[in-house]
Chains A and B, each alone.
Chain A
Amino acid sequence: MNQAFQRSAPEPLPPVEFNVPGFYQTKLDNGLRIVMVQDDRLPLVSYRLAFNWGDVNDPEGLIGVTSAVASMLNEGTINYSSRQLADEIERLGASISVHASDDFTILAASTLSLYSTEILRLAAEMVRRPTFPEDELDLYRRNTVEHLKFQRSQPGFLAGEQTARLIFGEHPYARVAPSAEDIEKLSKDDLRTTHDTAYIPNNATLVVIGDVERDDIMREIQDLFGNWQTGNLVAPAFSEVPKRKSRTLTIVDRPGSAQSNIVLANTAIRRDDPDYFPVIVMNQVLGAGASSRVFMNLREEKGYTYGAYTRLDAKRRGGDFEATAEVRTAVTGDSLKEFFYELGRIRDEKVPEAELADAKNFLTGVFPIRAETQEGITNLIVNQLLYDLPEDYLQTYRKNVEAVSADDVQRVAQKYVRPDEMAMVIVGDAKEIVPQASSYAVSVEIFDTDGNPADLPDQEAAAN
């Protein structure tokens, strides 16, 4: 019955070469960088217009303005009302969205190639001629305030808010969302000034990927963006990220919570750090996926959680390393024990060669899968450009992963996984968590879900 070939994993077929598409690059006289990739597999086009300006660039006293500008670009321009823009874009079956992250603002547009010109025109209109109408801004302010309240019901948001505060201190990365007061005081003039400062061609990159003719689209780009005025680039200054010296516990009390959301964090690397490749390999071994150590331990061995992971968040100006899981309340302490065991082991013991090879094979193997869709290729290229990664970054990615050694992994684990100075953030039922978790930290602080300091719950009452 059970034949020999069934007993062990088969050998792969001969490998198939995969070449990352190269791209054409040029610049308009006003400084707008243009990057283009021909992709005619399907009749689709994707555009990204990215600005080196994100939420961290919010000026003093205007917290939230960058995201407000991004959100308001489709709410009215010189030639179109909010309604007309929505109708026009959706009439083509297309989409245009604008989103500000910590470091960048990115307009993303995608369409059938049949409408590639129409959609680029609408994108140019939104970016270059927004009017920020008072009534739409008023609606934005009110909706955003409600949305901020809504976020406070989500444990993931509460955990992220405290983690960012503890890790980044006075640096703007510490702010995951503006306050209601910040939003309420934003004026039309604030948005206009910010728009004029940030949305300049010499601070922007336009990426075009899809089934388009280069000459045609270049003519269109020249027409739509050629007369865009160059502006003054502002070099921002940011506060230092604080140095942590000990392991602390911060609990967001959510009485009756069915689970504890655990985040253990310390600062790590910027996206362009030379240690990037060893760190992603180390993270793959430790916790990035469903075959990584913390998942195998906390979920597959112990059944404490649906998923346990570690995560590397490497931004343009800094970043952190996090271990995360949502576990049932009763095993909060047991989960911490297993997390710290794994965080210690990756530092103290050299990773076995076979496990290292598995982690590297995963990273090199999934790389072409990410390039299957046009959105996937677009994201790879946009990241390379925005983080100023080397020109041959995508071509050498797999080689760089393969070069990482077990010594490299241990070295970066000791450098970037620092259990003794981690911020431990747990969102859940504080009276159940304190007795399980407080022995893991030198100090305990408690917040309510509004983000205000709260008292330690009465332990005697909890015991009854």
Chain B
Amino acid sequence: MSAAFKLQPLAIEEYTLPNGLRVVLNKDGAVPVVSVAVYYNVGSRNEREGRTGFAHLFEHMMFQGSENVPKAGHFQYIMKAGGTMNGTTSSERTNYYETLPANQLPLALWLESDRMRSLAVTQENLDNQREAVKEEKRLRYDNQPYGQIFDLINEMIYKNFANAHSTIGSMEHLDDASVEDVQEFFRIYYAPNNAVLSIAGFIDDATVKELVEKYFGDIPPQPLPPELNVEEPPEVASTYREWEDKLAPFPAFLIGWKTPKRRTPEFNALYLAGKMLYDGDSSRLYQKLVKGDESVIQLFGFTDERRGPSSIFVGAIPKPDKDLSKIRDVIMHEINDIAKNGPDPKEMQKVHNQLVNDAVRTRQSSMSRAQQIAEFALYDGDPTVINRELDELLAVTPDQIKAAVDKYLNTENRALLDVVPAGKG
């Protein structure tokens, strides 16, 4: 059983350059591949009012050239070396990463260091990427049924602007972003002392350290960005909103709860409770709603983990003519059951096996390891959390789950978003 299962710890080395860049290494030579990830401690939560979407627009600018790398050269250098790359922006951080044949490590470090040192910003590139981002917004949000519901419910759950606004931002704010904004954002947030560089895969310790020093050592540090306040006021009331979605073929609803921050015992307990409620065909809500009552077409749920107040969601697309409030009653009934009786031992065993399985699987690729250790280094100041996180989750007791569900989910303190189809029909 899972209790007897011991995951081999990953070999992790961490050090800091004199300019403040934190470097994390994970050597694993199974396949001659190397992954490099740079995590900057800036996300949409750092945006100021009137500039929503800026952190993400900035991420696009990081592919538009730097002192020695031409516009779009980043894509081309990586791809012609046989690698893959991307960048993403969340509320918490902006990351950039590439996986390459192991012998191409110098290329990755050269590219990442050049844009950390000397991003090239022009009006033309900004205008062009503004358009690409607007198309991304249309593609992923505006032109998709239910595409905007997560952004809408976050505005209901969170009261602090830093937490509440969307990462993709508004079209108006994207239009307002100027070249000066880009330059200022770069100076404040894209400094070596505000970043983590992580490297995982087929590496030689001495070589990698020499290369890191060579490429990143002389990038000057900057004053650290101002402290960010992500606190949320305490609340007791539920919030409700009806949203007319002209692309949605069916009604749907989404319930969201505010939770404590990531990696607290309570957040972990709610993460496990979420798995019991909505994860997989044997989960409580799947068996009640998709099977038993046959009332929903699709059921979904997840946790959004943040360094500040976080959240958990459950949503459903009911079948036509089903009573949405009855479905919500079933959801609250199951939540109430866990709050009163706690999870049953079989559920605990299942979740433990799933956690072990997830932990092993996410260690397979060098990119996944590089990202995890970078994230732990940035959020927790300690990349070796990767070797403890599973044990922390396995240590959550049924009583902790019961108490956390009672305190955070079995309450009126939740947001409910009803999606009403408003199409041509």
Contact = CB atoms under 8 A, between A and B. Distances in A.
Interface residues of B, number: 90
Interface stretch (A12-20, A61-69, A273-281): A12-20
Contacts of B114: 6
B71 A369 contact: no
B416 interface: no
A304 B101 contact: no
Contact of B357 (A93, A146, A152, A300): A93
Contacts of A44: 360-361, 364
Interface stretch (A49-57, A183-191, A313-321, A371-379): A371-379
8 nearest A-B pairs in the assembled complex, by CB-CB distance: A365-B82, A93-B353, A303-B131, A358-B80, A16-B32, A93-B357, A86-B281, A10-B106
B103 A15 contact: yes
A185 B297 CA distance: 20
Contact of B143 (A10, A17, A326): A326
B287 to A, nearest CB: 7
B229 interface: no
B363 interface: yes
Contacts of B104: 12-13, 365
Interface string A346-375: 000000000001110111111111011111
Given A306-B132, A358-B76, A364-B82, A152 B249 contact: yes
Contacts of A372: 30-31, 33, 364-366
B341 interface: no
Nearest to B100: A365
A371 B31 contact: yes
A155 B297 CA distance: 20
Nearest to A296: B72
A156 to B, nearest CB: 10
A74 interface: yes
Interface in B368-421: none
A306 B5 contact: no
Given A306-B135, A361-B81, A257 B364 contact: no
Contacts of A110: 361
Interface of B: 2, 5, 30-33, 67-68, 71-72, 75-84, 99-107, 110-111, 113-114, 127-136, 138-140, 142-145, 202, 207, 214-215, 218, 246-250, 280-282, 286-287, 290-291, 294, 297-298, 317, 319-320, 346, 349-350, 352-358, 360-361, 363-366, 424
A322 to B, nearest CB: 17
Given A16-B32, A92-B353, A303 B364 contact: no
B249 A149 contact: yes
30 contacts: A3-B218, A12-B104, A13-B103, A13-B106, A16-B32, A42-B363, A83-B282, A83-B287, A91-B282, A93-B356, A112-B353, A142-B319, A150-B249, A150-B250, A153-B145, A290-B75, A290-B79, A291-B79, A358-B80, A359-B80, A362-B79, A362-B82, A368-B33, A369-B31, A369-B82, A369-B83, A369-B84, A372-B30, A373-B364, A374-B364
Given A10-B107, A155-B143, A303-B129, A362 B135 contact: no
A114 interface: yes
Contacts of A86: 280-282, 286-287
Nearest to B145: A153
B33 A369 contact: yes
B369 to A, nearest CB: 10
Contacts of A459: none
A240 interface: no
A106 B366 CA distance: 27
Contact of B105 (A5, A13, A259, A301): A13
A359 B82 CA distance: 9
Interface centre among A7, A10, A90, A93 (most CB of B within 10 A): A93
B265 to A, nearest CB: 22
Nearest to B76: A291
B10 to A, nearest CB: 11
Given A2-B67, A9-B107, A146-B297, A82 B291 contact: yes
Interface string A322-342: 000011100000000000000
A326 B135 contact: yes
Nearest to A18: B32
B294 A142 contact: yes
Contact of B247 (A90, A153, A305): A153
A8 to B, nearest CB: 7
A242 interface: no
Contact of B282 (A90, A299, A365): A90
A147 interface: yes
Given A9-B110, A290-B79, A303-B127, A87 B282 contact: yes
Contacts of A374: 364
A123 to B, nearest CB: 15
Interface in A28-81: 41-44, 74
Nearest to B220: A1
A16 B131 contact: no
A232 B314 CA distance: 48
Contacts of A112: 5, 353, 356-357, 360
Contact of A289 (B79, B297, B346): B79
Contact of B80 (A82, A303, A362): A362
Contact of A358 (B79, B84, B102): B79
Contacts of B346: 87, 91
Contacts of B102: 13, 16
A245 B248 CA distance: 38
Contacts of B67: 2, 6
Contacts of A87: 282, 346, 350
A7 B50 CA distance: 37
